Amino acid sequence: MKSNKNDILENHCYTELVYKRINKKLNTNLSNSETETLIKSVLKETDVENYKKKGKNFYISNKDYNIRITINSNTFRIITVDRIRKIITT
């Protein structure tokens, strides 16, 4: 998966719609450049073991940032970013 991580880091891209979707999903108001900086940081800092390919998408999960990034595996386009649900056991 190491080559996929490098490919994603070098080739990931955005659409105008995804910036709005990310802000909505994360409940933030980041500028486009702030969003790109956040995504790039998460992609760089996430261990290769947390890069999963399922079907036509990559799912990159980072517990430190508490987010999961979904990326199209053919175009490397960012699809969305979701908060990771924390499971509380008692």
Which pTM was predicted? 0.89
> Is the residue at 61 inside a domain?
yes
> Can you give the pLDDT at residue 2?
65
In the structure, what pLDDT confidence band is assigned to residue 12 with cuts at 50, 70 and 90? Answer: very high
> Is the residue at 88 inside a domain?
no
> Is the residue at 89 inside a domain?
no
Is the CB of residue 67 less than 8 Å from the CB of residue 28?
no
> Is the residue at 34 inside a domain?
yes
**Domain residues for 28?**
2-83
How many structural domains are present in the chain? 1
pLDDT tens string 51-69: 999 999 999 999 999 999 9
Q: In terms of C-beta density within 10 A (0-12 exposed, 13-18 middle, 19 or more buried), how is residue 67 classed?
A: buried
> Is the residue at 9 inside a domain?
yes
> Is the residue at 90 inside a domain?
no
